[in-house]
Amino acid sequence: MREIKKYVRYHIEKRKSWPDQSPQRPRNVELYFNYDGKRYHDTTGMKVALCDWDEDRQRVKLTVKRGAEVNRYLDKLEDKINDIYFNAKAEGIELDNNYIKKELKKDTKQARPDFFKEWLKYFEINKNRLVNGSVKSMMTAYNRFKEFTGGKVDFNDINPELLSKYAAFLLSVGNVNITVHGNIKRMKIFLNYAKDMGLHSNDAYNKFKWTVQETRILFLEWSEVKALFDYIPISEFEQKVVDKFLFGCLTTIRVGDYDEIKKDCIRSVRFEGDEHVYDAAYLRHKKTHNITVVPLLPEVMSILDRYKDLPGENALPKVGSHVINRHIKLIAKKAGIVAKTPKDYYRGNTRETKYFEKWQLLGTHVGRKSFITHAVNMKIPATTVADIAGQNVKTTQKYYAGVVNREKFVQVMNDMRLPPDLPKTDKLG
């Protein structure tokens, strides 16, 4: 049966005053209803990016995740306005905007979106674009906050006072400041997403800040890297562990990237006017998605040469990072990497420093930090180091430029000496 209806129009809000005019920016979906020479205008509570909106159909594009749900909501809203209009006509009621607005709110059960259900939906939408480590960290943040609240919290409950108590809870169960910062940061990312989707209008949580103190950079001295390179493994397994760890030390590539590096990513590079042939790895960083060309030292090529006959496309054998982290410690101890090293722990305003033999603290990320630290101190431009490492230049300059370097010591020792002894003179003149 065909239906007689007056059409509701939906349009995406546009403002020339917005500094961000990107089509990816979520904007309000606005409702327009023309009736009897009048116009009713209101917001729908939904936000949709301009690139996700079909202006001809006045609905979200069907290819957009959760677009069907938004479209059903807009369909129901249109049907409700038509019911209000035609019922009023049948009853002889004179319509105006106030009447329509009152009827729309009448008997409306505004079910509040469930905070944790929406957070899980957010995971499902975004998990395919994130690396496994990021997904795991996001789930940890979810589980920690659910544990703290008992699973009972609303979007509008998230304010600085609640987050302050949450931070105290995380500290009380043994987390350090950087972990607290990470958990709150990931929750704020979700809250910002939920706000853009029209699930809430609360922004009080952004006023809560958590300070993370800078910690010492743990890295291997170049002589210690050499000690591992010269180490003679007692088994094929040890050789694989050492090689995988050293690959990060000598390239600054993240373990998640070089663990899957393909043989065809290793290529020769030549420059006009230079007879030398260089080697490089062409790869896309998982974390930043940037494409990078990483120079490969001869020592790295000797590692790759060891596995040139490895079956399949991978250039290196498969050894999980957790396996490398566990066994490289024992290997480093045998290689003599036992210098005492301080490690700072910040919990709130309290700093605790513990001392370890360096082998106890080794992990794949230490190898990456070692390359970056020495490259910066060897006066390789920060932009070059950041490009190879897949980092932001500001990150490289902030965390690595202040590490002790030889040039600083030589300059102080040469320029700040006291003058030589002056000839002795008779005190009485």
Q: Span 408-422, mean pLDDT?
A: 66
Question: Which residue would you say has higher pLDDT here, 429 or 266?
Answer: 266
Task: Residue 10: name the closest of 91, 73, 74 by CA.
Answer: 74
Report how far residue 343's alpha carbon sits from residue 395's, in angstroms, rounded to the nearest whole number.
20
Least confident of 4-13, 106-115, 152-161, 361-370: 106-115
Strand partners for 292: 283
pLDDT at 252: 84
Three-class DSSP category at 145: helix
Q: What is the mean pLDDT of residues 153-166?
A: 92
**Which pLDDT belongs to residue 163?**
94
Q: Do 115-207 and 222-411 fold alike per CATH?
A: no
Task: Determine which of 171-185, 212-226, 227-241, 392-406 has the lowest per-residue pLDDT on average.
Answer: 392-406
Q: Please check the confidence at residue 182 and state whether its pLDDT lies above 60.
A: yes
Residue by residue, DSSP assigns 262-316 as: BGGGEEEEEETTEEEEEEEEEEE-TTT--EEEEE--HHHHHHHHHTTT-SSSBSS
Query: What confidence score (pLDDT) does residue 357 get?
Result: 92
Question: What CATH code is assigned to 222-411?
Answer: 1.10.443.10
CA distance linking residue 125 with residue 155, whole number of Å: 19
Task: State residue 16's pLDDT score.
Answer: 64
Which pLDDT tens digit goes with each residue over 78-98? 989 999 999 988 998 988 999
**% of the chain beyond a pLDDT of 70:** 88
Beta-carbon contacts of 367 under 8 Å, excluding residues fewer than 6 positions away, are: 220, 245, 246, 247, 248, 249
Model confidence pLDDT, tens digit, residues 205-261: 999 998 877 777 788 888 999 999 999 999 999 999 999 999 988 888 888 888 888
Taking all residues of the chain, what is their mean pLDDT, rounded to a whole number?
84
Backbone angles phi, psi at 277, to 5 degrees: -105, 125
Q: Which CATH class is domain 115-207?
A: mainly alpha
The answer to whether residue 427 scores a pLDDT higher than 60 is no
Q: In the structure, what pLDDT confidence band is assigned to residue 389 with cuts at 50, 70 and 90?
A: confident
pLDDT exceeds 60 at position 107: no
Task: Find out whether 254 and 245 touch, Cβ atoms under 8 Å.
Answer: no
User: CA nearest 12: which of 38, 40, 51?
Assistant: 51
**Range of 95-109, 154-168, 415-429 with top mean pLDDT:** 154-168
Residue 303 has φ and ψ, to the nearest 5°, of -70, -50
> pLDDT tens-digit profile of 367-383?
888 888 877 777 777 77
pLDDT recorded at residue 429: 46
The pLDDT value given to residue 275: 86
- What is residue 185's predicted lDDT score, i.e. its pLDDT? 93
Asked if pLDDT for residue 62 goes beyond 90, the answer is no
Domain ranges of the chain: 8-105, 115-207, 222-411
Average pLDDT over residues 22-29: 83
For 123-156, how does the pLDDT look when each residue is reduced to its tens digit (9 = 90+)? 888 877 776 777 888 899 999 999 999 988 999 8
What is the 8-class DSSP label of residue 344? E
Confidence band, pLDDT 50/70/90 cuts, at residue 345: confident
